[in-house]
Every structure is written in C-alpha cells, then in structure tokens.
Structure 1
Amino acid sequence: MIDPDFLDELDRFESAMKREASSIQQGEQESRNLGEGLTFSDYRRYAPGDDTRLIDWKLYARTEEYFVKQFEEERSLTVHVLLDRSESMAFGEGETNKFEYGAKLGLGFAYLTAEENNDFRFSTFGADLERLDTGKSNRAELMQIIDLLNETDPAGEADFRSVFEEYAESIHSRAFVVIVSDFLEDADEIDAGVGALARNDTLLAHVLSPAELDPDATGDTVFHDPETDETTRTYFGGSLAQSYRDRLQAHVEDVAERADTLRADHVLVDTGADFFDSFASLWSE
C-alpha cells in the first residue's frame, strides 16, 4: 500500500530540487530544457556570440555541427503522468514492487506541481487508459488518487502505440509528459507510442526491480510470464544467466537510444534504490 506520508517528506528536498533545472515550477527558475517561460520553436546554426547554453549537445553528438535552440514565449504548463498498470508492473517484493514504486514517482511529480500552483493530469495505462484525476490539481485530489492506486491491481499487457497515440490527441497546450513503466514490451511499439508524444517534453522513468536487474535464481527454475500466464522450466545459471542479463541490458539501451532519437529523456530506475534518490535523479533530468 502507498502511504501518503511520503509526500510530506518531499518538502525537505524541494529547495535542493529547485536548483536543478525543471520546467514544472513556473516563474521561479529555468525550465528543464527550454528556459523560464519559454518553449522550443526551432533550431538554427550556432553563430559567434550566441549563448552556448542553448547549444543542443545531443544534436551535436549526432551531426558534429553546432545548433542552438530558438524559443517562443508560452506561460502555461501541464504535467501529465502516465503510469503503467500492466501485470508485469506487479513484480517486486515489498518496497521494490514496481507499480507502487513507480506510482510514488508519478505522485511526486504531481505533488510538487500542485505545490507550485500548476496543473497535473494523472492516468494509468494498460490495454487502455484510465484517468484518475478530476482536474483540480490539489492535495485533496492527490489523496483520492492514492486511494485509487491502492485499489489498482496491475493486469494485462500495455498497448503503448494505441494508448499514447490517442492520449497525444488530447494534449492541446504546453505539456511535460512523465511515463513511468518497466517498458517490457516490443521496442518498436514503445517507439511508436513515445513518438506520438514527442512534440512535448517527455521523460521515460524506466523502473526495474533488483530481482530483474540481477536475478538470484539458480539451478532448476520455473519462470512465469505474468502477462501471458505462460511458464517455462529451465536450468538457470552460467551462460543462460549471462544471456538474460545481456538481453535485458540490450533492451534497456535500445529503449534509451530510441528515446534519445525522439529527444525524450530516459532514466533507468532501480526500485531497490532509495526512493528519494531516484526521484531527485528524475526531477533534475
């Protein structure tokens, strides 16, 4: 169960977090990517005298040419939290449970957004999307969302393409989208879904449990796929264990590379890590 008291503990981290760039706090510091009160408009080639802070270094890494970002003024910003509720998110014991850990990450963004009198939207997704907020963007609503999350049983598979394409059509103003998921789906489907949201600032919080990142299973083992209910019995160890780790790492890197291509940020989160350390790394990304 998610204990709402953790929200109060975020307050003591807030002043330090504000020193890190974030587009969520309006009018108090620079936005996470674009600058206070500004939104991305276009690129142009760097010219002597341009502010070097505006150089897109990710674009330079791909093209070996310097481009600076151009901006236009825009005041309002809504933070959209999309939390994966597919069955694979139910994995993890106690505090390492991916759904509960991921829910707290999303709630942290919503809470600090509300504290700055800005708007948030909070939804869960699987085969479809369920919006949990009612548009009030206040602490009382966060308490109701926590109650709804505590009643949620992750189930089924996540349809990144259809759900995100449909959700993108509902965004009509400047937005920052936080996607919290284990992203244990086909990379092409993830790419298509995230691509539909890519016109907005987008952050992928890639949550995996310690038992997934470094499984301690050895010997004769039965593996269960929670989304398809299929089971496989095999000897796990040695070369098979290394093959698993290599494939997982390759998938994580694939998702990260596709996010980079779409100019979205990607952060791998170990649910065995201290929650506030993980949240601070996402908030400052």
Structure 2
Amino acid sequence: MINTDFLNQLDRFHLVVKKRVTSNYIGPRKSIAAGRGLTFKDHRIYSPGEDIRLIDWKVFARTDDLYIKTFEEERNLTAHIIMDASASMGFGKPISKFDYAAMLGVGFAYLAMRENEKFQFSTFAESLDVFQSRRGMSQLASMVFHLNNTKTQGLSKLLDAMVQYKKVIGSRSMLVLVSDFLVDIDEVTETLYTLGDHEIKVIQLLDPIEKNLKYSGDFKLVDSETQSRLRTYVSPRLRVEYQQMLDSHTAKIEETCNKLGIHFHQLTTDTPIFDAFYKVLE
C-alpha cells in the first residue's frame, strides 16, 4: 500500500538523488538529428541554396567565411513502468513482492514527473492494463490509485504482455520492467529480445525466502498461479538443488540482458526501498 508518508519521503529522495547519482536515465534527451532546435551544437560551412537566415553573421565578420549554426533538438524521454501483477507477486510478508514493486514503480514515475517527463504505467498478469502516457501529479495520483486497488491474481503471461506492450511504445524510450521472472527461461529470453532498442532496466524482485530457502521438514507447496499442490520433504540436499536452479535461472536472465545492453538488477523485498533506488540508478 502506497501512502502519503512514502510520497513525502520521495520528495526528499529526489533532492538526494540529484546530489548522489549521475544518471542518463532521467532528464531531457538530445536527438541525433541536427536542425533548428533548442541547443547550439556546432558550425558548418554554408552551402549555396541554403537558407541565408541560418548564417552566423558574427562569424562571417571575423573570418569572411560563411558558416551556419546547427542545433540539437531536445526531446523529452517517455518513461514506461511495467509491473507484474500475477498471483506469485502477492507472495511475501510483511510486504508482498507486488507492494514493493509498486513503490519502485511510483518512485521512477515520481523522478520522471519532477523532471517534467511523460511517464506511462502498466500492470500485467494474464492480460495487460495500459494507461496513457502523461505528465504531472494527476498522472502520479492515477498510478497510485490503480496500484493500491490492484489484486495480484492469475498467471504471468510475460511474453504475451510485452509483445502487446511494444505496440504502444513510440519513440526511443526508457523501460522499467519489474517482475519475479519465475517463468520458463525461454519465455524470459524471448521477452527481452522483443523489447527492442530502448533503454531498459530489468528488475527481478524476490522475497528473501525465495532467494535463500532456509526451511526444512515436511511441507505442502501450493503454486499461487496454477493452484497445483505438492507434498514434499525439504532436505538440505533439496535446498542446495533449489539454490542451484534459481541461481542458474537468474544467471541466464542476466547473461541475456548483458548481450542486449539491458541493465539487470536482482532485489529482495527486505532491501530498504531507497537503497534499492540507489542501486538501480547508479
């Protein structure tokens, strides 16, 4: 649950971020196209037939040569914040993975808002809920309302959701994707390749119990997404095998991210939320 205390902390956090973090992910972007824009870029030699209004007459007075100014157009970045709301994200106490993901998502949205960037937020499970990209506090309020009223349920259709979401991404954007990624590794890999040429932050979010299984003895395990049940005995050997499988799964995700130039982070819900922001932004 996102409350006013968290939002007040975000305001202080924004000031600290400006001092501590040098980030390429928030703030105005410069396009690679040169034209009559906002920021002076360079001079180049005038070619006959070009608009004489572009000539820099001050340079001509000094050099007797005709030069025109070129500019870089500043284009604002759209931040896309996408959160997994499938049943498995409801796991965890005292804070669920989804509640933690919601705070991360609102944090990124808040930073974008403070830089006057547009941001778009979405949740997915078996279907995708997409909200239009906008600027401002009203957009942030809509996001908080939606997240506070979202119930985690259903299967994680990660690939289907991202194939659908890709259609709403316009120009080059920044994407933040938060999930536990506890689905088949081939689906995760295909998803990452699907997202394309954007600045992407992938955050794998786990509960501490999932990260380091410490229980032992007889248990009845229930899959939160399929409701299938399994009785098993958690032995030291099983814990080792579980850890190896989880580490291998995560390593494959990270390897694919590295190949594609995607920033990968694994977090657990016992990490102080603002420490998590620093880790992801640095």
Q: Please classify the TM superposition score into its range, dividing by the shorter chain length.
A: 0.7 to 0.9
5+ residue gaps, structure 2, are 33-71
TM-score, normalised via structure 2 length: 0.81
Deviation at 1:169, TM superposition (A): 2.1
TM-score, normalised via structure 1 length: 0.80
Deviates more, 1:191-200 or 1:100-109: 191-200
Distance in 1, matches of 2:186 and 2:205, equals: 19
Distance in 2, matches of 1:216 and 1:181, equals: 22
Deviation at 1:157, TM superposition (A): 1.4
Which string of whole-angstrom CA distances, capped at 9 and with x for unpartnered residues, describes residues 148-204 of structure 1? 212111111122222212211221112000000000011111111121113111000
Distance in 2, matches of 1:102 and 1:156, equals: 17
Deviating runs (4+, > 4 A) in structure 1? none
Which one of 256, 260, 278 corresponds to residue 280 of structure 1?
278
Partner of 1:3: 3
Partner of 1:202: 200
Deviation at 1:263, TM superposition (A): 1.3
Deviation at 1:74, TM superposition (A): 5.5
Correspondence list, 1:77-96, <5 A:
77-95=77-95
Distance in 1, matches of 2:146 and 2:14, equals: 26
Which string of whole-angstrom CA distances, capped at 9 and with x for unpartnered residues, describes residues 246-272 of structure 1? 111111111111111121110001111
Distance in 2, matches of 1:130 and 1:226, equals: 21
Q: Which amino acid aligns with 2:102?
A: A
Distance in 1, matches of 2:180 and 2:168, equals: 24
Which one of 152, 162, 171 corresponds to residue 160 of structure 2?
162
Aligned length: 243
Partner of 1:21: 22
- Structure 2 CA distance for partners of 1:156 and 1:13, relative to 1, 3 Å: same
Report SS of the residue matched to 2:75.
coil
Deviation at 1:24, TM superposition (A): 3.9
Which string of whole-angstrom CA distances, capped at 9 and with x for unpartnered residues, describes residues 201-260 of structure 1? 100011001111122321111111101101111110210011111111111111111111
Correspondence list, 1:1-285, <5 A:
1-18=1-18, 19-27=20-28, 37=30, 75-95=75-95, 97-131=96-130, 133-284=131-282
Report SS of the residue matched to 1:117.
coil
Deviation at 1:11, TM superposition (A): 2.4
Distance in 2, matches of 1:234 and 1:258, equals: 33
Partner of 1:55: none
Partner of 1:66: none
Sequence identity, in percent?
A: 35
Deviates more, 1:266-275 or 1:163-172: 163-172
Deviation at 1:134, TM superposition (A): 4.1
